[in-house]
Structure 1
Amino acid sequence: MKNDFSYLAQDPTARASKRNTSVSDTVAEIRSRTAGMEPKELQETAAKVHEMAKQHHAKHGHNWTDQAEADHDQLMGLFNDLKAKADRLSNGLLDAGRQRFGTGDRYLCATNAAGEQMFGIQRGMKMTDTPGCQRTENPNAFGEMLVAIATGDVSHVSREVGAALSGASGSGGGYTVPQGFNAQVIDLTMPKLRLGQLGMSVWNLESDHNLMPKLLSRPEPEVKFENKKFAEKDLTFGQVHIYPRTFGCIVTAPLELIHDGAGVDQIIQKELARGMAKAIDYYGINGAGARSQLDGLLSFKDIESTDVSSSWPGGWSDTAAAVLEVRLNDHEPTGMLMHTNQHHSIGIRQDDHNQWLTAPPVMKDLPMLETTHMPEGKIICGDFTKFALGLRQGATVEFSREAGESFERGQVMYRIMWRGNYVMYDETAFHILNDATGS
């Protein structure tokens, strides 16, 4: 049965008043009711939403308040999203049941096990390039929003920041970060991620319960003899559930900097991105809580592991064996990850002729990255493209001048929180080395 959208021709404010709902609720309802629509229906609905926005502007143009502008932006954002989705479906970019790169390798496109389309990015890509992302014209919009939150001064902010502040306040005093701002921070975070540099992808999740396909077994070629049947060794997929968990970071800044510092919006924006990168790397490696709470690489019990039997240069034999194990499982390692101290200790080893020791030829070009978030003595080798982070759309920002010693020190504290979790596509793509001290 077709959805009835006759009510879309009404003025959104009149409809909101009649049904005692806000324009935000109206937009949310339309988004919900357009799920699964065909391109033609999406185009028709987009045209009606555009007419709603025109009527809204005509009614409130003589008294254009911040709330009126925020409502208008929401309607236009919905119009652009519906139109973009219709175009993507028409162009065949959302092919069900398979994952592939988008046009020009600018983003990743996939269909999850529930039949929902999602977009993601890997190293060198930008979340702001994904279809449907509401781009922001201001490259420092997120930082500008944070400064305005702390100072309360919105007289000099850009139009999009003003709209975000006027309509994004949460019941607990927090602010929901608009999609465009959120994507902006993810783009700043990606180059700082060690896991991202090795190939981990980041995906936008559309709900709090997500299903992703997972490879359970691969087909094996064989010869079929006369009157004999093929063995049942087909390609088998299962599914993995992703339940987002809350994680984030806190950044403290002096009030003098907030009020008088030049370029403070850029500084705060970059510091929060750096803090988020540290959190994503730490939990992506170590996990948190009980199994299935927040899954890190070291918490997956099905990943094979071995002990390093000797110090370097003998340790190279064990690392080369780990690389071989991954390749025997039909994967190509994208790199190795270890603690900073190990990386340094291995890197400064010399032979009896004072020549620097290097990796064996079989792993000569394999990146070896370091991070203080790795436990000392462990090395992770693998194809990191088989590991991903799913982020629930929309971050939340809270601030305080009283928490901790902020009041006495004249500081302001920002806390940014995301909801997300990690997903492992194939444990056989990784191998963990223990007792690898590098000494």
Structure 2
Amino acid sequence: MNNTIALKRDRVSLIDDARSLLAQMQTERDAAKLADLERRHDAAMRELDLNALDIEAAQMAAGDAESRAANRPGCDAIAPGSDDGSTLLQGKRSAWVDQRGQPVRVLTRSERMGGNRNEAVGFGDLVRAKVTGPRNEAETRALAAGTDSAGGFTVPAPLAADFIDRLRARSVAIAAGAQTVEMDSSTLSMARIDTDPGCDWRAENAAIAENDPTFSRVLFEAKTLAGRVPMSRELLEDSTNIGAALEAAFAGAMATALDRAAIYGDGTGNSPTGVWHTSGINAVSMGTNGAALAGYDPILDAMLALKNANAADPTAMICAPRTEIALAKLKDADGNPLRAPDLVSRVPLLSTTSAPIDETEGTATNASSIVIGDFRDLLIGLRTSLEIRIFDQPLAGNGQLLAIAWLRADIQTARPKSFCKLTGIKPA
């Protein structure tokens, strides 16, 4: 632990050096001196990166010692590699561990990646500060810790986690119950349940019936999600709320893209494979060539498919806004709004513009679908790193700047049979 403290003290000095160089870069006009300052700043950033790796290694060593002590006989800790069953069933705590025996955080929709913070500097503030310069000491420190000479900026981990929490708050998939898996590397393996085990009563000394479960190994592979926002230089310089507006714009756009991948992604173009295209999920069709919804029976058929697959009760149904409104318009023979059966009404119905309305079902090319299931078995792997870059050339003719943000994520399902898709829903 003393080694970690010493390394963190070194980091303070390294940040001060990088900050000083950055301040000089912002005022230097001589091209040769500026190039030298950029070279020295890059070297300082490399030292910061090495220092971060040293801190991580020291913390891992300390964590290994604590883990060994905690898992000695007589304690109530969870041994590495074991699972008390709470991870997916209750979402209260994670018993996931990686190949090094380190814990992997698995967050429910009510848990935050960044903790409860009231950060003075936000993601949007840093975008503005990157163009117009920092307004205060907090922004100066943040920029010094993450700026490179090519216009890129790696958002400090606490601010990145806070931004990702804002993104998660706007995600329909996470509102439905999807869990977030923190990834500290580009890949992470997990086990998936493909078929359930069987249990039978047996007589004394009789052989136990063979009915083994089937597991498969799936791999989170972080894929890149990028968003772009054009803006005028005047807007950045003069608007008092531009930081909050930028953060809301990026979070909303990325949440929509994440929902599209998590629920409907087909795995093409380096995108994740979502629930809809996952092999082995249950499926119910509205008919050979699709049909409009006339009642709730098709949804009940999808629920029956889940029950027959021994799935847990669904946590949500997700559909296109068009389908949500079509259900709200259903009427009985007297023209009164059609009351949904209790089995249906107690499952939240969520809509997203990420849901396509041009699916093909037989001759129909304007169909949509409802995805229903236990979304706690939908896992969204997210790296905690976030990078932004400012470009002034693509839109220079209009006096605009272009901000692009990258984060990395992947999607997996812990149990495909926990989901069912009702396909072929045509507009009325």
Work out whether the TM-score is over 0.5. yes
Distance 1:262 1:64 in 2: 25
Structure 2 unmatched runs, 5+: 22-40, 71-76, 358-367
Residues 197-222 of structure 1: per-residue CA shift (max 9 Å, x gap): 10111221122221012113322221
Counterpart of 1:122? 108
Equivalent in 362, 366, 379 of residue 343 of structure 2:
362
The 1:137–1:354 alpha-carbon spacing in structure 2 relative to 1, beyond 3 Å, is closer
Counterparts of 1:79 and 1:142, CA distance in 2: 28
Amino acid at match of 2:4: V
| Other structure's SS at 1:318 match | helix
Give the partner amino acid of 1:373: S
CA distance in 2, matches of 1:146, 1:162: 12
Paired positions, count: 382
The answer to whether 1:392 aligns with 2:383 is yes
Q: Quick one: distance in 1 between partners of 2:15 and 2:189? A: 43
The answer to whether the 8 A contact 1:291-1:299 is kept is no
Q: Give the CA deviation at 1:192.
A: 0.9
The residue that corresponds to 2:392 in the other structure is 401
What is residue 27 of structure 2 aligned with on the other side? none
- The higher-RCO structure (CA 8 Å, 6+ apart) is 2
Counterpart mapping for 1:268-347 below 5 A:
268-290=246-268, 294-309=272-287, 311-314=292-295, 316-331=296-311, 332-347=313-328
Amino acid of the structure 2 residue aligned with 1:338: C
Question: Which of 430, 433, 436 is matched with 2:425 structurally?
Answer: 436
1:128-207 counterparts in 2 under 5 A? 128-129=114-115, 138-151=119-132, 153-154=133-134, 156-159=135-138, 161-170=139-148, 173-207=151-185
Structure 1: distance between partners of 2:409 and 2:198: 36
Which residue of structure 2 lines up, in the alignment, with residue 5 of structure 1? none
Which one-letter code corresponds to 1:138 in the other structure? E
Change (3 A) 1:293 1:239: same
Could you say which residue in structure 2 is the equivalent of 1:30? Answer: none
Give yes or no for contact 1:218–1:235 (8 Å, CA) kept in 2: yes
Residues 115-138 of structure 1: CA deviation (Å, up to 9, x unaligned): 442113221211013xxxxx8752
- TM-score, reference length from structure 2: 0.78
Question: In the alignment, which residue of structure 2 is the partner of 1:259?
Answer: 237
Shift of 1:84: 8.8
Indicate how the Cα distance of structure 1 residues 84 and 401 shifts in structure 2: closer, same or farther if over 3 A, else same: farther
Q: Does 1:350 align with 2:331?
A: yes
Give the distance between the partners of 1:264 and 1:355, measured in 2 at CA: 47
Distance in 1, Cα, partners of 2:16 & 2:222: 41
1:10 corresponding residue in structure 2: none
The question of whether the paired residues in 1 share the 8 Å contact of 2:142 and 2:156 is answered with yes
Q: What do you get for the CA RMSD once the two structures are aligned? A: 3.5
Instruction: Tell me which amino acid in the other structure corresponds to 2:297.
Output: S
Could you list the per-position Cα deviations for residues 256-276 of structure 1 after superposition, in whole angstroms to 9, with x for gaps in the alignment? 221011122111112111111
Is the contact made by 1:88 and 1:94 (CA closer than 8 Å) also made in structure 2? no
Q: Could you tell me which of 79, 84, 97 is aligned with 2:82?
A: 97
Q: Partners of 1:80 and 1:106 in 2: how far apart?
A: 29
Q: Distance in 1 between matches of 2:245 and 2:336?
A: 42
Q: Is 188-197 or 136-145 further displaced after alignment?
A: 136-145
Per-residue deviation, 1:409: 2.5
Distance 1:302 1:108, change over 3 A: same
Asked whether the equivalents of residues 249 and 279 of structure 1 are also in contact (C-alpha less than 8 Å), the reply is no
Alignment partner, residue 28 of structure 2: none
Aligned-residue offset at 1:187 = 0.9
**Secondary structure of residue in 2 paired with 1:117:** coil
Task: Report SS of the residue matched to 1:402.
Answer: coil
Seen in structure 2, the aligned counterparts of structure 1 residues 88 and 288 have a Cα distance that, compared at 3 Å, is farther
Change in Cα spacing, 1:417 to 1:71, as seen in structure 2 (3 Å) is: closer
Q: CA–CA distance in 1 between the matches of 2:323 and 2:93?
A: 34
Taking the TM superposition and a 5 Å limit, the aligned residue runs for 1:220-259 are: 220-259=198-237
Q: How does 1:7-26 map to 2 (within 5 A)?
A: none
Deviation at 1:86, TM superposition (A): 6.7
- TM-score, with normalisation over the residues of structure 1? 0.76
For 1:224, what is the secondary structure of its paired residue?
A: coil
Contact 2:87 2:106 in 1 (8 A): no
With 118-127 and 284-293 compared, the bigger mean Cα shift is at 284-293
* Shift, 1:247, TM fit: 1.4
Q: How many percent of aligned residue pairs carry the same amino acid?
A: 20
1:393-429 C-alpha deviation (Å, 9 max, x unpaired): 31111111222xx223322221111122101111111
Separation in 2 of the partners of 1:378 and 1:308? 9
